[in-house]
Structure 1
């Protein structure tokens, strides 16, 4: 248990920490290349979509052949994508590297894969807590890597900084061996559910559909803020250090939020936790837009959003495991995350598109508010009881 948690947490720290600072590259890259913000934003939108599309397939491979091979492949793709980002001479090439390659890489070395191992190797009584620990590690990676990436950009230049991150992504490979699993055997009573049956069961279940819809909103909100807030603050005359501090605070307070969400998931209804998180996000954004924009207001907003940032991850994945079991947890988690990434695509792309057409991010901020209210409401009727499969139960 300790080895799985430690290695899984370190993998998530690296994989999520590296991507959390991508917004810091928007200014340097678009300025040097002469690209619009939409060009950069579109590449990251494709990254999130590629991550989502590849996620279920990465999950299937991890469930079938074990997480080790998928994690190694994800690490190699990550390093290649980061290196090619530095060399991309055109917007199309940048979309191929920062978008497709890095997106595919993230599907193989982030939450869905790590949570699949945790779900199968950790006792169910501690599963939600363990997922909270792994999510908190990813949050710490965000806190740790933002100032590191900012330092690398300022000291090495944005291109050399990307090469340095490419080398760091390769550290995931040795850590992956700590998540090597024994070969999966048949289910209870010797009955093994097929992949097709698992998919039909999940997609025909109303609560799974509601979880996917809520996760769409999560992706829209966090990726829009993570990528576009540095430029939003710069447009309003705040120093670059404020944006760096804001992203770091999100990562720091996310450590507490994700851990708390995982721990509370062992005691409270997870659907209520999710509804509270989405509702609180909308309130936080409304307050942020209503008060004068100062460094203090940015830091307070970042701390509050940090608590709510990835705190949806442990209860969402714990519900999936609780309802459907852990045999295909990586795959089903990948499909739920696909919805998250469609939302991420819309959030990051609309941020750039509407900014270029209106000169402001205001419309996207208010879309994020409305979506938060929607997500809070649709999570309330989610059912958390395990599905009873007659063939398995009677075996």
Structure 2
């Protein structure tokens, strides 16, 4: 089936629309941690119920992402984002009225998970990469990630205000209405046929070191057979584990320690604010330095930061300092990881292959989000999970360092590796 044909727009329009779609999608998602306590208290649930539904959301998001990415590669980003925006809004509407754990899992877990798969990194980055010349792709992904991070800052105080003023249920309904804006922002992103399918042919005439563009199944086989891709995926698993554990459980961890609830929302907002800087720098430096080396540094610094946070006396200001530093390291992994995949396999199937590696990120998110609630209910503390995050940081830093950022055709497949 051929990609759809529609009006072409400027690369900057693609960049801005894609970035603001991520602003909404990631901003709403980043606020879910604020709903853990009020929803759990209102429905008389343990924390594992809410944690499991958000963990399921990330698992569904990850498992669906390669297929949704393939849909975006074939049909175009706009249709994919419109469907994703509709599912996202529906999930939020239903989440506002849940009365049972099963309904929470269906709405917050399955529907919103599917919605996120059509409105975030792989689909947006695929559209942006196809619109940009090769030498500007790393910077463009960094800029779109930085602008998308704006939502993670803006939606936290807004979400807390809505919860305190109109209650958690009405707050979710308001967020559902905001999610519908995604469908309007997706409209300008319809791609002409030549912007999707023949990109590899166009790149072949340019003097770059990019790999040749392969078909879907050839790219998929090439990816799963290469050690570098699998190592990158393991590192991304760690990223997902840490991010969801912190975003879901940090507000409750702080309240358990006597820190006001407002500090938790401020901390998550600071993470989103400083993530703008981190994502921009990742895109900038990713075009100048070896991306796997930068990823290794990010994971190593995360581990050191968590050690300092856990061992230092806890105060409002130590929380804010931790949040600001963690924000710089938060989603700066995304443009670097996607950029490395692009360097290995090209951009024709980037939404699909980016979705495949992102699936590992979301499996890690499922484990981190769910395990945080499970171990808290079992032990009454989050300490064990914090130290698991430290150990995983060391593993991710070590496994990313030796990855070579070059065309996959030059790698030895894992089946032949010593």
Q: TM-score, normalised by structure 2?
A: 0.91
| 1:69 aligned onto 2:90 | no
Gaps of 5+ in 2: 1-10, 206-211, 411-418
> Could you tell me how far 1:140 is from its partner in structure 2?
1.0
String of CA shifts for 1:330-358, please: whole Å, max 9, x gaps: 00000111000000000000000000000
- Identify which of 254, 258, 264 aligns with 1:237: 258
Contact 2:213 2:348 in 1 (8 A): no
| Residue 379 of structure 1, CA deviation | 0.3
The alpha-carbon deviation at position 323 of structure 1 amounts to 1.1
- Map Cα deviations across residues 244-277 of structure 1 (whole Å, 9 max, x no partner): 1101110110100010011001111101110000
After superposition, the Cα gap between the structure-2 partners of 1:236 and 1:192, relative to the gap in structure 1 and judged at 3 Å, is closer
Of the three residues 244, 255, 265, the one matched with 2:276 is 255
SS of the residue corresponding to residue 87 of structure 1 reads coil
Once the two structures are TM-superposed, the CA of residue 381 in structure 1 deviates from its matched residue by 1.1
Q: 1:192 offset after TM fit, Å?
A: 7.0
**Are the equivalent residues in 2 in contact too, given 1:202–1:208 (CA < 8 A)?**
yes
- Deviation >6 Å, runs of 4+: 189-192
Partner residue of 2:391? Answer: 370
CA distance in 2, matches of 1:112, 1:326: 11
Aligned pairs for 1:95-244 within 5 A: 95-183=105-193, 184-186=196-198, 187-188=200-201, 193-244=214-265
Q: Give CA deviations for 1:299-342 in whole Å, capped at 9, x if unaligned.
A: 00000000000010011001111110000000000011100000
Which of the numbers 306, 330, 340 marks the counterpart of 1:309? 330
> How do residues 263-274 of structure 1 correspond to structure 2 at under 5 angstroms?
263-274=284-295
CA RMSD of aligned residues (A): 1.3
The separation in 1 between residues aligned to 2:73 and 2:133, in whole angstroms, is 18
Alpha-carbon distance in structure 2 between the residues aligned to 1:255 and 1:276: 18
Counterpart secondary structure, 2:45: coil
Q: Distance in 2 between matches of 1:185 and 1:350?
A: 42
TM-score after normalising by structure 1: 0.97
Q: Residues of 1 paired with 2:231 and 2:188: CA distance? A: 34
Render the CA deviation track for 1:201-238: whole Å, top value 9, x for unaligned.
Answer: 11111111011000000000011000000000000011
Q: Is the 8 A contact 2:222 2:408 kept in 1?
A: no
Q: Judging changes above 3 Å, is the alpha-carbon distance between structure 1 residues 192 and 218 closer, same or farther for their aligned structure 2 residues?
A: closer
Match of 2:172, SS state, is: helix
**Shift in Å, 1:383:** 1.4
Instruction: Determine the C-alpha separation between the residues in 1 that align with 2:408 and 2:215.
Output: 15
Q: Give the superposition deviation at 1:193.
A: 3.1
- Equivalent position of 1:351 in the other structure: 372
SS of the residue corresponding to residue 30 of structure 1 reads helix
The aligned counterpart of 1:392 is none
Correspondence 1:284 to 2:296:
no
Partner of 1:34: 44
Contact 2:236 2:361 (C-alpha < 8 Å) held by counterparts:
yes
Given candidates 294, 300, 308, the residue that maps to 2:315 is 294
Structure 1 Cα separation of the partners of residues 407 and 313 of structure 2: 48
CA distance in structure 1 between the partners assigned to 2:150 and 2:281 by the alignment: 14
Aligned partners of 2:408 and 2:388: how far apart in 1? 35
Shift of 1:155: 1.1
Between the aligned partners of 2:342 and 2:187, the Cα distance in structure 1 is 24
Partners of 1:332 and 1:49 in 2: how far apart?
Answer: 17
Does residue 1:387 correspond to 2:408, yes or no? yes
